C-alpha cells in the first residue's frame, strides 16, 4: 500500500474533483459519511455524549458532516468550532450552514479557554481540528484545547490525523498533539503513523477509501510502501517438485564468541526454518560442540581461536553469508571482517557486532560489499550514521548512507523500515513481544536464508522482516507477549509461511493497524 505525502493527497483531491466531475463538497460528504457509518455501526444509537471539535479548514468540514449525520440519526452531539481565525474553507462554510439548517443546537464557537466544555471520561470526542493542512504547531488556547482533550481520558477518534501532527515532516511540539485512541484516515495512512516519535499518537488506525482518482494514485511515486499481506504474498516463491537442497542454497552463518554462542544457534536455526538448503555455522573453536549438539542439521566450521573469530576461512561454496551476531569487536575480529568483506562473493547480511566494528573502523566501510543487507537496531544505526534530530532526519540520513554505500539498511523496531536508496518499505507485522534478546539474530538468519534461496537482497529484507514479524505475532497469540523468546520466533517461521496463504487466518497472523 502506498504512503502519500500531504501535498500528494491535496493534489489527488484536485485531480479527482476535476476528472470525475465531483465537487470537493461531494468528497467531503463521502469522507464524513464513512466516518459516520463507522461510528454508527459501533454505537448503534447509544445515548453517549459526543463532542466534536472542528477547525475551520476541510478537516473541520469533515467534522461538521459527521456531526450533522449523527444529529440526524438521533445522537447526543455537541459541535464546537475552534474559531482561531476568521478564514474558513468553502466546504467548511457550506457544511456549517447545513448543520444550522437541521438543528436548533448550533455549533458552539470557541475563542478562548473559557469556552472549553467539560468532557467526561465516558464521553466520546471527535477530533476534527486539523488534518493534512496543518502548517505550524498549534499555540495558545488551541494548544490548551488539545491538552484539555488529552486530559479528559475519553475515547478520542481523530479524523484523518491526530490534530497537531504533520503527515510527513517532524512534529515540533508534542504537547500540542491529540492523543487519539483511533484514527480514521483518508485513502492511506500517513507516514508519521509508523514512526516511534509520532506513531504513539495514532496507536490504531484504519484507512478509508474515499475514491480518489485511481490513476493518480497508481502513477504517483509514494513516500513509502507499506507491506501488508497482499504484498507479502506476491514475494513468495513456490517450490517445484524436482527442487533439491542445492536449489535452496548453502547459507553460512558467521557468529558467536565465548558466552554468546546462542546468537549463532538462533541465526542458523532461523536460516533453516526459512528454507535454506544447507546451513554451515562458523564459530570460534569453543562453539563446536555447542552448535553440533543444538542443531544437528547444521554443519560446523571453527576458527583456530578458542573464544573469538579471528580468521574466517572456508572452502565451501556458499550462496549467502550472515555475519556479526555475538562476535564482539576485538581487533582480531575486525581484521577477519576486513578479509571477509574484501574477498566474499556471496550476498551478505551484516548484523550486530559486525556493524559495531564498521562504526569503529572506517577501513571496513571502504570494503563493504555492495548490495549487502545491514540490519541495525536504533543503537547500532546511531553508531553507524551518527545522531539524528528526529525520526524523519533518521530516515533521510539512512537513505544517504544506503545510497553512498549501495547497501540495504533496516531500521529495526516496531514497523521496521527497509531502506534502499530513496525507497522506503514499512513493515506491518510484529509486536512488543519481540523485544527480547536474540530476536534480531533470528531476523539475520531469516534474511540470510532467503538470500541463499535466491531472493534478491531487497526482497529478502522486506519479505524476511514481514515473515519474522508474522511469526512473532502468531507465537505471541499462543503464549503471550511476555513469554516470547527468540527461539520461539524461529520455530514459528513455518506458521508464518502457512498464514501467508491461509484461508482462515492463524490467530495473530495479521497485525491490527
Ligand X SMILES: NC(=O)C1=CN([C@@H]2O[C@H](COP(=O)(O)OP(=O)(O)OC[C@H]3O[C@@H](n4cnc5c(N)ncnc54)[C@H](OP(=O)(O)O)[C@@H]3O)[C@@H](O)[C@H]2O)[C@@H](O)CC1
Task: Give binding residues for K(+) as ranges.
Answer: 59, 127, 163
Q: Which of residues 143-202 bind K ion (CB under 5 A)?
A: 158-159, 163
Closest approach, Cβ 115 to ligand X, in A, equals: 16
Judged by beta carbon, residue 32 or residue 464, the one nearer ligand ADP is 464
312, 254 in Cβ contact below 8 A?
yes
284, 312 in Cβ contact below 8 A?
no
Beta carbons within 8 Å of 353's beta carbon, 6+ residues apart: 324, 325, 326, 327, 328, 329, 333
Q: Which stretch binds ligand X (CB under 6 A): 50-58, 260-268, 373-381, 501-509?
A: 50-58
Distance from C-alpha of 176 to C-alpha of 184, rounded to nearest angstrom = 20
SS (H, E, C) 215-232: HHHHHCCCCEEEECHHHH
**SS3 label, residue 147:** helix
x/- map, 176-215, ligand X, by CB under 6 A: ----------x-----------------------x-x---
Chain residue whose CB lies nearest ligand ADP: 440
Closest approach, Cβ 92 to ligand X, in A, equals: 8
If one asks whether residue 135 binds ligand X (CB under 6 A), the answer comes out as: yes
If one asks whether residue 134 binds ligand X (CB under 6 A), the answer comes out as: yes
If one asks whether residue 137 binds ligand X (CB under 6 A), the answer comes out as: yes
Give the binding-site size for ligand X (rule: CB under 6 A): 33
Count Cβ atoms below 10 Å from residue 47 Cβ, excluding itself.
Answer: 9
Binding site: residue ranges?
Answer: 58-62, 127, 131-137, 160, 163, 263, 326, 377, 412-416, 440-441
Partner from ligand X, ligand ADP, K ion, none binding residue 158, C-beta < 5-8 Å depending on class: K ion
From candidates 3, 5, 8, 31, binder to ligand X by CB under 6 A: 31
If one asks whether residue 12 binds ligand X (CB under 6 A), the answer comes out as: yes
Closest approach, Cβ 184 to ligand ADP, in A, equals: 23
Q: Which long-range contacts (CB under 8 A, 24 or more apart) does 480-486 make?
A: 480/433, 481/431, 481/432, 481/433, 482/433, 483/433, 484/433, 484/434, 484/436, 485/436, 485/438, 486/266, 486/436, 486/437, 486/438, 486/439, 486/441, 486/442
Q: What are phi and psi of 134, to 5 degrees?
A: -60, 130
- Report the interface residues with ligand ADP, using CB under 6 A: 352, 377, 412-414, 416, 430-432, 434-435, 437-441, 443
Residue ranges binding ligand X (CB under 6 A):
9, 12-13, 27-28, 31, 55-62, 84-85, 87, 89, 130-138, 142, 159-160, 186, 210, 212
Amino acid at each position: 500500500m502506498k504512503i502519500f505525502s500531504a501535498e500528494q493527497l491535496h493534489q489527488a483531491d484536485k485531480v479527482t474533483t476535476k476528472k470525475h466531475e465531483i465537487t470537493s463538497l461531494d468528497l467531503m460528504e463521502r469522507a464524513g459519511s464513512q466516518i459516520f457509518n463507522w461510528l454508527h455501526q459501533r454505537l448503534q444509537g447509544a445515548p453517549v455524549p459526543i463532542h466534536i471539535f472542528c477547525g475551520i479548514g476541510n478537516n473541520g468540514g469533515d467534522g461538521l458532516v459527521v456531526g450533522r449525520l449523527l444529529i440526524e440519526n438521533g445522537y447526543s452531539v455537541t459541535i464546537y468550532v475552534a474559531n482561531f481565525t476568521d478564514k474558513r474553507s468553502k466546504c467548511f462554510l457550506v457544511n456549517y450552514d447545513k448543520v444550522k439548517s437541521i438543528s436548533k443546537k448550533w455549533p458552539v464557537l470557541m475563542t478562548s479557554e473559557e469556552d472549553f466544555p467539560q468532557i467526561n471520561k465516558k464521553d466520546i470526542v471527535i477530533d476534527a481540528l486539523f488534518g493534512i493542512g496543518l502548517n505550524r504547531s498549534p499555540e495558545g488556547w488551541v494548544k490548551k484545547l488539545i491538552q484539555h482533550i488529552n486530559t479528559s481520558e475519553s475515547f478520542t477518534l481523530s479524523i484523518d490525523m491526530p490534530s497537531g501532527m504533520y503527515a510527513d515532516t517532524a512534529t515540533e511540539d508534542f504537547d500540542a498533539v491529540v492523543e487519539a485512541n483511533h484514527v480514521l484516515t483518508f485513502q492511506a495512512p500517513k507516514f508519521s503513523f509508523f514512526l516511534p516519535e509520532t506513531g504513539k499518537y495514532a496507536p490504531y488506525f484504519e484507512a478509508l477509501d474515499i475514491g480518489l482518482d485511481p490513476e493518480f494514485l497508481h502513477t504517483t511515486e509514494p513516500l513509502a510502501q507499506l507491506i501488508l499481506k497482499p504484498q507479502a504474498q506476491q514475494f513468495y516463491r513456490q517450490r517445484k517438485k524436482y527442487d533439491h537442497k542445492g536449489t535452496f542454497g548453502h547459507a553460512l552463518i558467521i557468529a558467536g564468541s565465548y558466552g554468546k554462542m546462542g546468537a549463532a544457534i538462533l541465526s542458523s536455526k532461523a536460516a533453516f526454518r526459512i528454507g535454506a538448503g544447507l546451513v554451515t555455522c562458523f564459530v570460534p573453536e569453543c562453539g563446536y560442540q555447542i552448535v553440533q549438539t543444538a542443531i544437528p542439521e547444521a554443519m560446523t566450521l571453527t576458527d583456530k581461536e578458542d573464544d573469538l573469530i579471528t580468521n574466517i576461512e572456508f572452502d565451501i561454496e556458499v550462496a549467502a553469508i550472515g555475519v556479526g551476531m555475538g562476535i564482539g569487536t576485538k581487533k582480531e575480529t575486525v581484521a577477519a571482517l576486513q578479509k571477509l568483506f574484501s574477498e566474499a562473493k556471496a550476498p551478505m547480511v551484516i548484523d550486530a557486532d559486525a556493524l559495531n566494528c564498521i562504526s569503529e573502523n572506517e577501513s571496513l566501510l571502504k570494503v563493504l560489499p555492495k548490495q549487502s543487507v545491514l540490519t541495525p537496531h536504533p543503537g547500532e544505526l546511531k553508531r553507524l550514521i551518527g545522531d539524528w534530530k528526529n525520526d524523519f532526519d533518521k530516515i533521510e540520513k539512512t537513505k544517504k548512507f544506503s545510497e553512498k554505500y549501495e547497501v540495504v539498511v533496516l531500521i529495526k523496531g516496531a514497523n521496521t523500515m527497509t531502506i534502499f536508496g530513496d525507497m522506503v518499505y514499512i513493515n506491518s507485522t510484529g509486536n512488543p513481544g519481540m523485544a527480547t534478546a536474540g530476536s534480531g539474530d533470528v531476523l539475520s538468519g531469516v534474511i540470510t536464508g532467503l538470500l541463499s534461496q535466491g531472493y534478491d537482497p531487497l526482497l529478502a529484507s522486506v519479505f524476511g522482516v514481514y515473515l519474522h514479524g508474522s511469526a512473532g505475532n502468531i507465537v505471541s497469540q499462543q503464549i503471550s507477549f511476555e513469554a516470547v523468546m527468540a527461539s520461539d520466533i524461529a520455530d514459528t517461521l513455518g506458521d508464518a509461511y502457512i498464514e501467508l496463504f491461509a484461508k482462515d487466518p492463524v490467530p495473530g497472523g495479521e497485525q491490527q493497524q
